[in-house]
Every structure is written in structure tokens, then in C-alpha cells.
Amino acid sequence: MRAAMSFAIWVSGLAWLSILAACEAPAGAEAFSVTSDVEISPPREATTSVTEPSRIDVPWMVGEEAAALTALPELTWCRDGRALLLDPRRPASERTLERLDPTTGERTPAVDASAALRSLKALVDGDIGETLEWPIDFSADGKRAAYRFGGDLFVLDLEASRFRRVTSTRAEEKSPRFSPDGRFVAFVRDQDLYSFDLFESVEHRLTRDGSETLLNGTLSWVYWEEIFGRRDIGYWWSPDSRSIVFLQTDESEVGIAYFLDPEPVWPRLIEQRYPKAGTTNPSVRLGVVGADGDHRHWIDLSAVPHEYVVRVQWLPDGQRLAVQTMTRDQQRLDLSWVDPVSSEITPILHETDPAWINIHDDLVFLDGGREFLWSSERTGYTHLYRYSDRGELRAALTQGNWSVRSSAGAFWVSQSIAAVDEARGWVLFTGQADSSIERHLYRVRLDGSERQRLTRNAGTHRITARPDGAYFVDAWSDLSTPPRMELCAGDGRLLRELSPPRVDLAQDLGLVYPELFTIEARDGFEMPACLMKPADYDPSRSYPLILDIYGGPSAPNVANAWSGWSLWDQILVGDGFLVLRVDNRSATAISKTLESTVLGQLNGDGELNDLVDAVRHMKARPDVDAERVGVWGWSGGGSFTLLAMTQSEEFRAGIAVAPVTDWHYYDTKWAEFAMKRPEENVEGYERTNLNRFAGDLHGRLLLVHGTYDDNVHPQSSWRFIEALVQANKRFEMMFYPMRKHGISDRPARIHLYSTMLEFWRRELGTSGARRLEPLAAGR
């Protein structure tokens, strides 16, 4: 349901991804602020880098040249204070892992890539590629890296530039992670947890009961997707590297979804354990085991009523665990210290919310575990707090009518704390204190005083800070500038540009850039919006308008950032369309209060009213042809497209990709956070069941889905199609065999976007921005 947002924005508290995977003024301009109670700056006029139309087409858009526009180095900090990076901009013959010394800014090769690849080729049959790629994990000292080839695990010794084979089995190994001391690498094979002693070259089997439905150290789909933000984090090394705490998941009572692979001759039936709203969740428990397989035992958490175990981490002393649990209604979260030997539980604090609680990764320990930092939405905004290890509040570090926010990663799992400089008394965090459509890095004293903004340029900043806060790497962009990467000191001083923006690639493409503005809803709320216009835009003419929508809670589609969708929008404006993005209030990420307005009716009347107000505002403009307005979206945006086309008459045509049409069909954790269980909210589930309104379809519809979508099951589209058939409503559909939620391979992407472009040309028409005769409702 969230995949489309992975494509939508380069970085806005979301992962920045290229167009193959899934709006701020120029650098130095004043920050653009969009909140409900702040005066709004006037819109910036749309601009173009050249006077002729864009020369981008669909195949180019999903090719390597387009991906190069946003390609930046991968980077991680090591225990010695230096960073490791891999720069995709280097020529393939020169590309290797590099070490970055932040004190000098010097970059040096960390490994001889040619020698490393030669050693690997001697160990692996088959193609391993011609370049060294970014590994799955590094040891904390940065001396070793874990890779997987052909389903087996390999470890690269960076100093020796040599690979060694760790496993050689028919089974696939996954999720390798080094112990803190670098001696062991743990991994999962056939749902069991293993460790490999790199010093002794000995493999240890840590669990022995893994099966198709019993998972040790690896996550079920709903935990992987919803709780850990698409990261397979199912075990945690102790600080002394002697023990591992792990999740064991029992999926035997979880319902099964089925997918049909049509190849080769006899179709293959694929099963997925997937808990749908109101049904049984996987049950989980925590186990502890020695690094060599000794002293395995289970931790009893029954004293804390819960449905989900949402976070586990060791305290710095290695003697206690910090365990976060959540109730089924997601209205209560408990933080407890747990003795991993005796299972003694010490309650520390709990959060409650009449709507729901969002999961975060902002538990950070101070002073060896005597204090900790924590984020909470208790005021209606997300802010940081400092506590004693007994749960006593010491200080509110941030406050006000704004929120701390992630600068990267899955938007439904927040992590705003970037680093802590305990020696100097600073906490570095990301947030939107200056603008709701930007992300900036700030620092504040441990008593909440002296808040300072460290990122100087208007835009959206993705921060990778050294844990002690002495340095940080800032990957940032704005609406008109592709992303760049800079090395900065902990006080915000620019030390070195690591990767400049690829203006050299952008300048000859005939790009146009959006204008930012706001649209007033019926109650006066100012919704953030951005509009793109053709390069040869003539204000005396009227143009067809396409609304690109996502709309999910605190998942903004408007940001002062280089957008992952930008190239697709360039094609559309090059074809004579106006392209509009607007965030309904619950999507803005301004506050938890606004986000919670969808309680009980997710994808319902509140969001629809905001979108209708936005479209009617645009239709009143002389440069918009009110008879040629379309809407499209992916995943949650696909659901909003169907909502808009069945419960309003504002749109001539629409494209819905991978939509949820009935919350009964979606997973427990996501569907129930706002909707609760079906038996608790019968009216809400009925009101948001789009299948009930298929007969009210207005305009032409193109419905798209992948047949192996294990996120939003094709069942949603099939059910909507059946309702359309029953109502004798004509529509178009495009189903992609064995594609998942992202429909992400290049041939499918070329076909999909070419199909969508053809649909828009046919249904909205762009030749000379001419007017067409009105389209009969439900044509």
C-alpha cells in the first residue's frame, strides 16, 4: 500500500530511489513554509532550462542515463570514525569501496576491486558482474563485508582484497550480520538461525525447529513490511558478541493467499501467509541463544499485554533488553527493560493515543544507559524527550507546532535522531521546524535549549551522521536541482562536496520545474501543492490537467525536493498536460493531529473533500480546461483514484495502479491502525469499500495490477472489476504477469508508462491544448 511513495519523492522522510525502483526554491533561497498557521510565500513561477520541449521519452526515463541523474554514493560510518563509500559515478573500471577520512576529506581505495573480484571468480561458478557492489553488511570496524552470490554467503577481507566462502549449500542463506567484535557472522537458512566463526571457520546452528510456518531470526511478511519497514531485522547481537536475541514467529494460524505462476506448462501455485484485517496475526516470542548455540531459552513477556513486539535492542551494559510492545488496537505502546535470563520485566513508560501510535526508531541511550532519548506524539506533534533509565522525564528537547521527522527510510517507521554528541551536549535530529515541505538537520542541547539549524540550503536533506555527531554527510536536493552529497562538520560547516548535482546531465533535457503554492480547502486549510507546466506554456490557452495523488497518512507527495516521478511528469508536460500534486491535510506530515483525522475512515470523506476542493480550485483557473481533468495514483494513490472517480464527477479519466478496494483485503497492522478490526468498525469498512460504488464510476478508467502483488493482492482489482461488470461499466485494464507491487522491471515499466501515456493522449487529448466535447459520465 506504500510502495508508490517509494517512487514518488526523492527524499522527504522517505527512501530516495530512482525511477526504476518505485517540491523548495533553488539553493540559497528563503525557506518555503507550508503549515496551517503560517503565512505562505507566493508560488515560484515554473521555469525551464531551455526553450524547447523535453526530449525525454519512456525508454530513456527507465534507463541508466536517467538513473544517473540521482545516483549518489552509498555510505556508512565505521567505528574508527572514518566512512566507507561506493560511488556509482566512478567509471566501472575505477569503481571500488573507498574510505573517507572526515578530518581531511581525503578519499582512498579501501580495497583492490580487481583483486577482490578475481578471488571471487575462483570461488563462484557463473556471472558475478564486473564491478564490486555495495555489500549487505559491514563489520563495525569496517574491515569485512558480507555478500551473497548464488544464494551462498561470502565475506570480503577489505585489507587483503580477498573473498572467502562462508556457506556452500543448496539452501539460500539470507540476512547476514556481523557480531560487534567482527568474529562471527550470523545468518538465516531454511528459517533457522546460524552463526559462523570467522576465526575458527566453524558454523554453529543456533535453532533447529524452523519450518515453512515457524521462522527463527527472520520476519513474517507483515512484520517485514509494516513493523520493520521492509528490513529483515529478526535478531540482535549482544554488545559483547556472546549472545543473540531473536524473534521466533509462528505463522501456522495465519491465512494463506495464493498466486499462480503461468510458467512453464503446468502453472505453479505460490502460497503466502498474509494476515488480513480482523484475522489471526502471526504469534511471536523472544529467544536468547549463545553465539555458539549454547544456553538457548525463551523470554516470557506475558506480563505485558500485547499483540506485537515492535522493537528490541540491548542496553549498553548488555545485561538488559529494551523491548517495545504494542496492543492489537495500536493505541498503547509499552517500553520495558527485560532481563534476558530471568525474564524479569521492568516497566519504563507507555504511550497511549485515542487513534493509534506510530512506530519509531528514536530510542537512543546516553551515559552508558543511565538516560535515554525518546520521541512521542503526545502533544499532537512529534517531539523528542530525555528520560532517566527509570522512566522519569528529564527534559523536552523539542517543542512547538512542528514535528521532528525522518530524513530517509520508510515513512511509516520514523527515525529523526541522527546522532548524539554527548561530550559537547548536542543531539542532532531531522525535522520540519522551518517548513513542512522540507527536511532539515538541527541540533539542540540535552536540556532542550539552543536549537540550531545546521543545513543551510533550502531543500530536502537526507542525513547520515557519524554516531558522535562530529561530522555528517548531507545528500540534498530541491525542486530544480538534482541531488548532491556534501561532507559537513557537526556544526554545519561545509567541508567538502562529495558528489555534485548532475546539472551536466539535466541541462540538455529541456526540463521544466514545478511552481509551489497552496490551495485553500473549504474550511480554510492551506494544502501544499506544486504544478508543472509545458515549456511553451501560454497563459491565454487552456490545458488538460492530470492530478497525481498518493494521499496516505503523513506521506506527502509535495516536497521541495527532486522528485523520483519528475521525469514522468516531464514527459506529460512535454505532451501538453499540466501536472498537479497536492497533499490532503492528513498526508502533509505536519502533525499527528492532522494525520489522525482519518481514524475510522481511511480513504474516506475527509480526504476526498480536500482533493475535490483542490480540483475545483484548479478548474476555476483560465489555463485549465475544466472538461479535461484526469487523476492517477499508485497503491494508496490508486485507491484515491477510484474513490475520486466513483464518489465525485470531477474527472474525465483516471488510472489506478495496484489499488486497495476493500480494507478487508489488506493486512492487519496497516488496515487496523486507522480502521480498527472490522467487527469494531462495521460502518467505516462499509463506507470505504470502493467495490460498493463501482456502479457510480464517472469517466474512463484504466486499472493496472501485477498478478504477483504480495502487498496489495490482485484480489482487490478483481473484486472491483466484477463490480464494474455487474454494473455494465466499461473500463480498460492491464495486468502484468508475475509482477509484484512495484511492477519494477524495465520491460514492464516501458510497457506500463507507454500505455498510460497513450491513455492520457486518447482520453484527455493534448493537440494544441484544444477543447474536446464533454465526456458522458460512465462512458
Active-site residues, by number, are 635, 709, 741
**Which residues make beta-bridge pairs with 97?**
86
* DSSP secondary structure of 731-770: -EEEEETT--TT--SHHHHHHHHHHHHHHHHHHH--GGG-
CA distances (Å), origin 771, targets 77, 314, 664, 757:
57, 65, 42, 19
Q: Is 71 exposed, middle or buried (0-12, 13-18, 19+ CB in 10 A)?
A: middle
- Strand-strand pairing, 732-736 and 700-706: parallel
Instruction: Please give the DSSP secondary-structure letter assigned to residue 367.
Output: G
Residue 551, C-alpha cell as written in the block: 494521499
User: What is the largest distance, in Å, between two alpha-carbon atoms of the chain?
Assistant: 78
What are the strands, taking DSSP E only, across 623-669? 624-634, 653-657
What are the strands, taking DSSP E only, across 377-451? 383-388, 393-396, 417-421, 426-431, 440-445
Residue 737, C-alpha cell as written in the block: 504477469
**Which residues make beta-bridge pairs with 426?**
421, 445
d(CA 239, CA 560) in angstroms, rounded, equals 40
Residue 401, C-alpha cell as written in the block: 507546532
d(CA 84, CA 108) in angstroms, rounded, equals 10
What phi, psi does 337 have (nearest 5°)? Answer: -90, 135
How wide is the angle at C-alpha 283 spanned by C-alphas 282 and 285, nearest 5°? Answer: 140
* Length of the chain in terms of residues written: 779
Checking phi first, is residue 769 left (phi over 0); if not, alpha (psi -120 to 50) or beta?
Answer: left
What phi, psi does 6 have (nearest 5°)? Answer: -65, -25
Residues 554/381, Cβ–Cβ less than 8 Å = no
Instruction: Please give the DSSP secondary-structure letter assigned to residue 667.
Output: B
Residue type, 155: V
First-to-final CA distance of the chain: 29
Residue 534, C-alpha cell as written in the block: 509545458
The residue among 370, 334, 401 whose CA lies nearest residue 33 is 401
d(CA 446, CA 657) in angstroms, rounded, equals 46
